[in-house]
């Protein structure tokens, strides 16, 4: 079974192109120590064979391959003619990776460090500004307390009218009345249709945000028969509304 190998370094010779692959030479330093009695190796030379498709994906060129540090993973081969494989060991490359330049790595680390320092400085500035907002909150609280005695002196009749005034802003524009959802009668023609589910979901999201329908339903004054707004009727049923806003269409 072939032995898998991993080597790193830069090309030591020019890139050679063939029909379906390219080849280049690399070398690695030998081990700094050797078993007692054996000579230390200086370096080992390799000839790497890479498929053109895999090589092109790396973005390397004939010039850049001499300067970029690359990682090769593959297995040794003995089937390459010696004139195509001047290195001591031939390697069939399964994967080639361009390793990051040391200067680029240091630049990225410096950039990350600078951004972290900016975030810390921004946090400290926000903490310094925080006490300034506290007196403002106290002043608002005092103003609210000064208003309370005036509310207590409001006549009973005005207090009863207040809830009706608060309900008006919660209804969509054009609302004439608010009726019980269960009183509305839906014609069979509406029941046979299915409104666009995307638009229906948009209305449901609107109700969740605003607390009311985007438009009132149109019904007949006396019969309470639905004339327009079947989608909003479905939305009201989905979110379980007890009462719905309506505008009347009088019977002719």
CATH number at residue 213: 3.90.1530.10
Query: Does residue 10 fall inside a structural domain?
Result: yes
Domain that holds residue 87: 5-31+38-103
If we measure between CA atoms, which residue out of 201, 235, 199, 197 comes closest to residue 216?
235
68-112 pLDDT per residue, tens = 899 999 999 888 887 888 888 899 999 999 888 766 556 666 677
- β-sheet bridge partners, residue 8: 71
**Is position 133 within any domain?**
no
Same domain, 179 and 98: no
179, 246 Cβ separation under 8 angstroms: yes
pLDDT for res 49: 95
pLDDT for the residue numbered 132: 47
The answer to whether position 74 is within a domain reads yes
Instruction: Say if CB 28 and CB 44 are below 8 A apart.
Output: yes
On whether residue 220 sits in a domain, the answer given is yes
* Residue in 25, 28, 29, 21 with CA at minimum distance from that of residue 7: 28
Task: Please name every residue paired with 51 in a beta bridge, in sequence order, or none if there are none.
Answer: 21
Nearest to 62 by CA among 100, 7, 23: 23
If asked whether residues 172 and 91 sit together in one domain, one would say no
Q: How many other C-beta atoms lie within 10 A of the C-beta of residue 124?
A: 10
What's the token pair of residue 72?
């090769």
Specify the DSSP class assigned to residue 40: P
Distance CA(49)–CA(90), nearest Å, equals 8
Of 48, 69, 103, which residue sits at a domain end?
103
CA distance 65 to 25: 11
Q: Which pLDDT does position 122 carry in this prediction?
A: 76
pLDDT number for residue 154:
54
Tell me the CA distances in angstroms from 78 to 75, 87, 196, 210, 228, one per residue in order: 10, 11, 68, 76, 83
Same domain, 94 and 171: no
46 falls within a domain: yes
Please tell me whether residues 15 and 88 are part of one structural domain. Answer: yes
Residue 242 lies inside a defined structural domain of this protein: yes
Beta strands in 172-239 (DSSP E): 177-180, 217-220, 226-228
Q: Which of 55, 79, 103 is the last residue of a domain?
A: 103
Cα gap 110→230, rounded to integer Å: 61
**Number of domains into which the chain is organized:** 2
Asked if residue 121 belongs to a domain, the reply is no
CB-side exposure of 252: number of CA atoms within 13 Å? 0
Residues of the chain with pLDDT under 70: 1-2, 30-32, 102-110, 126-169, 251-252
Q: Is 35 exposed, middle or buried (0-12, 13-18, 19+ CB in 10 A)?
A: exposed
Q: For residue 58, tell me if it sits in a domain.
A: yes
Domain boundary among 55, 77, 103: 103
Give me 159's structure tokens: 């207090």
CATH assignment at residue 53: 2.40.50.140
Sequence-separated (6 or more) residues with CB below 8 Å from residue 10: 26, 65, 66, 67, 68, 69, 70
């Amino acid at each position: 079974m072939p032995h898998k190998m991993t080597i790193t370094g830069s090309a030591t010779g020019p890139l050679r192109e063939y029909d379906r692959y390219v080849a280049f030479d690399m070398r690695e330093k030998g081990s700094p120590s050797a078993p007692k009695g054996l000579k230390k190796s200086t370096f080992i030379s390799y000839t790497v064979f890479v498929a053109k498709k895999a090589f092109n994906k790396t973005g390397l060129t004939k010039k850049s391959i001499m300067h970029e540090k690359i990682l090769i993973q593959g297995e040794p081969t003995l089937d390459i003619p010696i004139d195509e494989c001047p290195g001591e060991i031939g390697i069939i490359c399964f994967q080639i990776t361009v390793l990051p330049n040391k200067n680029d790595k240091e630049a990225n680390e410096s950039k990350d460090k600078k951004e972290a320092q900016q975030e810390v400085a921004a946090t400290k500035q926000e903490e310094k500004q925080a006490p300034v907002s506290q007196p403002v909150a106290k002043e608002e609280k005092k103003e609210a307390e000064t208003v309370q005695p005036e509310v207590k002196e409001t006549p009973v009749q005005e207090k009863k009218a207040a809830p009706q005034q608060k309900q008006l802003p919660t209804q969509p524009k054009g609302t004439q009345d608010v009726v019980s959802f269960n009183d509305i009668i839906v014609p069979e023609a509406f029941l046979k249709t299915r409104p666009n589910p995307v638009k229906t979901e948009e209305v449901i999201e609107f109700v969740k945000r605003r607390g009311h329908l985007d438009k009132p339903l149109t019904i007949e004054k006396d019969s309470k028969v639905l004339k327009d707004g079947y989608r909003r009727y479905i939305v009201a049923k989905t979110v379980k509304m007890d009462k719905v806003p309506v505008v009347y269409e009088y019977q002719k």
